[in-house]
Structure 1
Amino acid sequence: MSVLRLPQDRVDEARPASGSGMDRVVQRRRLPRPALIAAGLAVLLAAALLFWWFAPRAGSQSVAASRLTIATVQRGTFEDYIPLRTRVTPLVTVYIDAIEGGRVEEVLVEDGTMLAKGQPIAILSNAELQLSTLARQTEVEQQINNMRAQELSLAQTRVANERAVLEAELALEKAQRLYDREAPLAAKGFVAGRQFADTTDQLRFERQRLAVVRRGRATDDRLQNSQLSQQRASTASLTAGLQLARANLDALRLRAPVAGQLSGFSIQVGQSMQRGERIGQIDSPGRNKLQAGVDEFFLGRVATGQVARIDAGGRSYRARVTRILPQVQNGQFQVELQFLGEEPQGLQRGQTVQARLTLSDPSPAILVPYGAFLNDTGGAWVFVAAPDGRSAVRRTVRLGRRNADHVEVLDGLSPGERVIISPYTGFADKDVLDLAQGKDV
């Protein structure tokens, strides 16, 4: 039996079996292009939001919390005082200068010696000064002698004038008696008229001569008194100059101007001293004062008469502000204090003593601990920490009085809030701080 193959069958036999007759081709579906673009934009926006959220802002900075000191604002009693680091200085210091220069011939005392007023401490020599002083003394004495001779001459002139007045008065009296005798006789004709006329003329002459002599004496007395006054003034001036010259010569013997303890005295025999050169000083014995530098912030609050307390040797002493030097140098001004009553024993010049100056009575207030942040902000603002401690925000405040422990809060802070009181170095220009926990940023 023969089998008839159709052409189609031959074609099918020629193809290898692939199983394509049993599988169905499935077409892949793709999203529309607009949907793909929208999805990409959404991813980019989400990434930008995450970067904005976690990236540091221009006004913020991350700071390790371990680097900061955070304190709590509290209500309490503010003690208005300032601590002073005072320096002990003598109450009175008198400096010793060489009035005249010279060579040191002898040193009579040592540094640290207690001196009495006027006690010699050293002897200088100056041959040129000694010669000039002797010459000056001779000149002055000669001028004084000349003026005394002039005074003697004036005195002799005064005596001569007085003698002339007496003689004129005597002559007038004689002429008056002669006139009195002849007048009645001339009236009766017993005295010749010519003789009586001569007597009358002589009387008139003696009167005029006495008047002239008196006027001359008055003029001479006035001129002599003026000249004597000038001569006496000149004599006094020359005498004072002579005494000054002798004093300069005596100044070569150096003496203590006041009683006290000699210090800074280190001259040696043979040393040449210049005029006006400082050779030492004398400090008041047993009396001291305190000098201290005070921050310029307190310039308007410190006043003379305020009392400071000094604790020394287990006892408390009091001192009063006696002088304020308002010139500010290096952010401080100087004050001087004197002890009220007894002083601590054993105080030495230059010793440092701690004092506590009271400015006003204690009063209730809101307080924040004193910190270095004040140097960066001036008390105008602070960083206030959030309750969770993860951030801090800059806040404007108003601070008042200060002492070594606390600062008075006038406005801007409430009790219980926490403030960064450590230095703001590196982030003082920021508004927000991210307080990273447990790591250094």
Structure 2
Amino acid sequence: MDIPLKKKRFNRSRIRWIIGGALVLLLILFVVFSTSGNSKLNVEKERITISDVREGVFQENIPVNGVVLPITTIYLDALEGGRVEEIFVEDGAIMKKDEPILRLSNTDLELSLVNQETSVYNLLTQMQISQNAARQNTINKLNQMTEVKSALIEAERIYNLNNKLYEQKAIGRQEFIEAENNYNYQKQRMELTKEILKQDSISTKQEENQASSSYARTKSALALMRKKVGDLVVRAPVDGQLTSLDAEIGQSKNKGERLGQIDVLSGFKVRVDVDEHYISRIYSGQEGTFTFNNKEYKLVIKKVYTQVTNGRFQVDMEFDGEVPEGIRRGQTLQIRVALSQEKQALLIPKGGFFQQTGGNWIFKLDKDGSTAYRVDIQLGSQNTEYYEVLQGLKPGDKVITSGYDNYGDIQELVLK
């Protein structure tokens, strides 16, 4: 008699399926739990920069480069064109005011000077001849005046005598009337002679004034011509150093052409290039600082050139106080120009983290310094050394300020 066997509840095949399903379930649970928490990355402390958040004095500034220039530069242009005949000094020479630098020749200008001098001499000769003729004419009229005056005196004497004789009936009426008429004629003649002499005096004076004015204008033209010829010798307008001399013997120079420049050595200024982004925040009186030979010096903006070229504009700065010893024309200085007043602020040092975060977040260390995690922050102004922290951090916090290039979307750094 056969005995029925009980069917096994778990055979090998079913056991394998159960074990496989359990393993898959465990894998799924592992993935879920591993992705549900913060992503972490192990980082060596030696490869990062950890900075302290602290309170301190903050001033917004920008770094710029400036070139040292003479305080004043005077350009030498050819006032008259000509050929370079002589060069008296070399480029770089220290000049005194009115010392000759070079000499030009211009035959047309020199010939014009000779003609002008001849015109002045001819005019002077004509004036002398006219003055002599006027004097002679005046002398003749004065002689006529003397004769007329003498005739009037004689006519008056005879008229008075005949008047008495006529009253005494000693002479006839005809003889009296004749003496009276002669007297009246001599009086009219005297008045006419005076008028002629007066008009002659006025005319002579007018001629003299016109001649003097013409002579003065001609002399002025001569002086101007002599100055133009004198300008063929180019001289130093002020004390200073001759630079950029551009002239060779035999070279022709046109009127107005640049010959060189004189740099006044009494002081220096600094010409600075600034990004056009700051054009509305730069003005005269702003200060800047730079370091030279391990010592800090101060500059002040004196002039702002508002013309923008290639995205930049220029300003001139002058030294405020001590001028660095040994500074030279053409040197480049690295300057920090202040854009605001000093104030108390929460600060973090500048670093590469800003390139990836834009200042919106940063890795902050926990209390024991073993872990750093992302925190949202808000930054304000900046200078060459620090960012101003507006919110998200407090004094004493430690943050990672080096670059975040390799961190991607990592939320937490484990420091080792």
TM-score, normalisation: structure 2? 0.69
Residue 362 (structure 1) aligns with: 342
Q: Which amino acid aligns with 1:209?
A: R
Cα offsets for 1:146-199 (capped at 9, x unmatched): 344334444444444555445444444443344344433332233433333233
Tell me by how many angstroms 1:110 deviates. Answer: 1.0
**Map 1:280-299 → 2, pairs under 5 A:** 280-299=260-279
CA distance change for structure 1 residues 385 and 358 in 2, over 3 Å: closer, same or farther? Answer: closer
**Map 1:297-308 → 2, pairs under 5 A:** 297-308=277-288
Q: How many residues align?
A: 369
Q: Which amino acid aligns with 1:121?
A: I
Residue 215 (structure 2) aligns with: 235
**Map 1:195-234 → 2, pairs under 5 A:** 195-234=175-214
Tell me by how many angstroms 1:412 deviates. Answer: 7.2
- Are 1:384 and 1:418, in contact at CA under 8 Å, matched by a contact in 2? no
Counterpart of 2:247 in 1: which secondary structure? coil
Residue 129 (structure 1) aligns with: 109
Cα offsets for 1:61-117 (capped at 9, x unmatched): xxxx9xx99999764322255444321111222222223333333322111111222
CA distance change for structure 1 residues 128 and 74 in 2, over 3 Å: closer, same or farther? Answer: same
Higher-Rg member (1/2) = 1
2:67 aligned with 1:87: yes
- Are 1:373 and 1:421, in contact at CA under 8 Å, matched by a contact in 2? yes
Tell me by how many angstroms 1:284 deviates. Answer: 1.2
Counterpart of 2:221 in 1: which secondary structure? helix
Counterpart of 1:123 in 2: which secondary structure? strand
Residue 321 (structure 1) aligns with: 301
- Are 1:383 and 1:419, in contact at CA under 8 Å, matched by a contact in 2? no
| Gap runs ≥5 in structure 2 | 1-31, 37-42, 365-370
Residue 106 (structure 1) aligns with: 86
Residue 37 (structure 1) aligns with: none
CA distance change for structure 1 residues 412 and 166 in 2, over 3 Å: closer, same or farther? Answer: farther
- Match for 2:360 among 369, 372, 383? 383
Tell me by how many angstroms 1:358 deviates. Answer: 4.7
2:155 aligned with 1:175: yes
- Are 1:389 and 1:435, in contact at CA under 8 Å, matched by a contact in 2? no
- Match for 1:251 among 222, 225, 231? 231
Counterpart of 1:346 in 2: which secondary structure? coil
- Give the Cα–Cα distance (whole angstroms) in 2 for the partners of residues 164 and 99 of structure 1: 59
Tell me by how many angstroms 1:314 deviates. Answer: 4.8
Tell me by how many angstroms 1:255 deviates. Answer: 2.4
- Are 2:306 and 2:313, in contact at CA under 8 Å, matched by a contact in 1? yes
Q: Which amino acid aligns with 2:88?
A: L
**Map 1:4-83 → 2, pairs under 5 A:** 75-83=55-63
- Give the Cα–Cα distance (whole angstroms) in 2 for the partners of residues 73 and 283 of structure 1: 49
Aligned-pair Cα RMSD in Å: 4.6
- Are 1:117 and 1:259, in contact at CA under 8 Å, matched by a contact in 2? yes
- Are 1:72 and 1:415, in contact at CA under 8 Å, matched by a contact in 2? no
- Are 2:359 and 2:379, in contact at CA under 8 Å, matched by a contact in 1? no
| Gap runs ≥5 in structure 1 | 1-49, 55-64, 424-432
Q: Which amino acid aligns with 1:192?
A: G
Residue 190 (structure 1) aligns with: 170
- Are 1:116 and 1:259, in contact at CA under 8 Å, matched by a contact in 2? yes
Counterpart of 2:360 in 1: which secondary structure? strand
Counterpart of 1:258 in 2: which secondary structure? coil
Q: Which amino acid aligns with 1:122?
A: L
Tell me by how many angstroms 1:354 deviates. Answer: 3.6
- Give the Cα–Cα distance (whole angstroms) in 2 for the partners of residues 398 and 178 of structure 1: 124
- Give the Cα–Cα distance (whole angstroms) in 2 for the partners of residues 370 and 169 of structure 1: 112
CA distance change for structure 1 residues 421 and 273 in 2, over 3 Å: closer, same or farther? Answer: farther
- Give the Cα–Cα distance (whole angstroms) in 2 for the partners of residues 191 and 135 of structure 1: 76
Residue 279 (structure 1) aligns with: 259
- Give the Cα–Cα distance (whole angstroms) in 1 for the partners of residues 106 and 295 of structure 2: 54
Residue 333 (structure 1) aligns with: 313
- Give the Cα–Cα distance (whole angstroms) in 1 for the partners of residues 301 and 328 of structure 2: 20
- Are 1:120 and 1:256, in contact at CA under 8 Å, matched by a contact in 2? yes
- Are 2:73 and 2:261, in contact at CA under 8 Å, matched by a contact in 1? yes
- Give the Cα–Cα distance (whole angstroms) in 2 for the partners of residues 263 and 314 of structure 1: 31
How many percent of aligned residue pairs carry the same amino acid?
A: 31
2:118 aligned with 1:138: yes
CA distance change for structure 1 residues 297 and 216 in 2, over 3 Å: closer, same or farther? Answer: farther
Counterpart of 2:92 in 1: which secondary structure? coil
CA distance change for structure 1 residues 317 and 364 in 2, over 3 Å: closer, same or farther? Answer: closer
Residue 41 (structure 1) aligns with: none
- Give the Cα–Cα distance (whole angstroms) in 2 for the partners of residues 136 and 71 of structure 1: 84
- Give the Cα–Cα distance (whole angstroms) in 1 for the partners of residues 202 and 352 of structure 2: 85
- Give the Cα–Cα distance (whole angstroms) in 2 for the partners of residues 207 and 375 of structure 1: 116
- Give the Cα–Cα distance (whole angstroms) in 2 for the partners of residues 260 and 304 of structure 1: 27
- Give the Cα–Cα distance (whole angstroms) in 2 for the partners of residues 434 and 198 of structure 1: 143
Residue 3 (structure 1) aligns with: none
Residue 4 (structure 2) aligns with: none
Tell me by how many angstroms 1:280 deviates. Answer: 1.4
Residue 265 (structure 1) aligns with: 245
TM-score, normalisation: structure 1? 0.65
- Are 2:67 and 2:332, in contact at CA under 8 Å, matched by a contact in 1? yes
- Are 2:350 and 2:401, in contact at CA under 8 Å, matched by a contact in 1? yes
